[in-house]
Amino acid sequence: MKDREIDDLLEKAARAPQGVNPELLERVAATIRPSLQPVRPLPATWILAAGLVLICAAVALAGAARAGFYGIAKMDLFERLLIFAALAVFALVAAVQFVGELIPGSRRRVSPGVLLGFGSLALLGVFGLLFRDYHTDQFVHAGLVCLFAGVFHAIPAGLVCWWLLRRGFAVNSVAAGFVGGTLAGLAGVTLLELHCANFEALHILVWHTAVVPVSAAIGALVAWALHFRASHRSSLRAKL
């Protein structure tokens, strides 16, 4: 049997009429009528994405202003250009993806996992290229301080980003949380690059980069918990 024949068979079967109870349609129309007010569509993707990137940059700059710009002061021009350009590109891609996750039927360019994987690999590549001091001093202690500082700044960035997109609707809340967490994590990494003057290669490769996946995991977990709670409440309401 050829594909054409299967096509014909499916199309013939799909054409068979299958009506919907007209009373049901009337009921639906009557239900929505009282709340039918004009609504303002969401702004264009690029506006929202630019807003998200600005929020992340603002959170990172505010954090660094409070803690000190020691990292960026120690970098040379080439290091500054490469690191912040990589972070900006990653943040822009993540922002576009995050906006897409909150608008049903949006084109998905990459999956959340691929975004995190490729983005983290790109950051590792840039850090690996620029930092060659493989000596370590207080690797775990200094690393945990940076990881916590990064995640600590990712949380407000994530919350403000979520506030900006509060009118959106996630058809897959875990994926949206994951991508939002990835984006917020980049605010944390940016803060660390601005502030942290520890240029040991392993410290930056492990602990600075780890902020992104940790933040993505937190975002996914929070989104799952919120969705589960909302779903549980609605099933309880349905039972009553």
Partner 1 sequence: MVPDQILETLMARYQAGDFSAATALIHRISPQLHRFFVAQFASREDADDLLQETWLRIHKVRHTYRPGEPVLPWFYAIARHVRVDHYRRAVRTSAREQQLDDFSGLAAKFPADAAEPDAFETLLAPLPESQREVIEMLKVGGMSLEEVARATSSSVGSVKQKVHRAYKKLRETITSRGLAKAQRGGLP
Q: Using CB under 8 A as the criterion, which residues of the chain lie in contact with partner 1 when the complex forms?
A: 1, 3, 6, 9-14, 16, 18-21, 24-25, 27-29, 31-33, 35-42, 44, 102-108, 111, 167-169, 171-172, 175, 231-232, 234-235, 238-239
Q: CB–CB of 194/141 below 8 Å?
A: no
Q: CB–CB of 164/47 below 8 Å?
A: no
* 106 vs 136 by CB, closer to partner 1: 106
* 24 vs 240 by CB, closer to partner 1: 24
* 26 vs 133 by CB, closer to partner 1: 26
- Please give the Cα distance from 135 to 180 (Å, whole number): 34
Enumerate the H helices of the chain as residue ranges: 3-15, 22-32, 45-67, 70-74, 77-101, 112-130, 139-164, 173-195, 201-202, 209-239
Task: For residue 51, count CB atoms less than 10 angstroms from its CB and return exposed for 0-12, middle for 13-18, buried for 19 or more.
Answer: middle
Least distance between partner 1 and beta carbon 117 (Å): 15
Least distance between partner 1 and beta carbon 225 (Å): 14
> What is the torsional sign of CA 47, 126, 119, 225?
negative
Least distance between partner 1 and beta carbon 182 (Å): 16
* 38 vs 137 by CB, closer to partner 1: 38
Burial 13-36 (b: 16+ CB within 10 A, else e): eeeeeeeeeeeeeeeeeeeeeeee
Least distance between partner 1 and beta carbon 44 (Å): 7
Least distance between partner 1 and beta carbon 91 (Å): 21
* 48 vs 192 by CB, closer to partner 1: 48
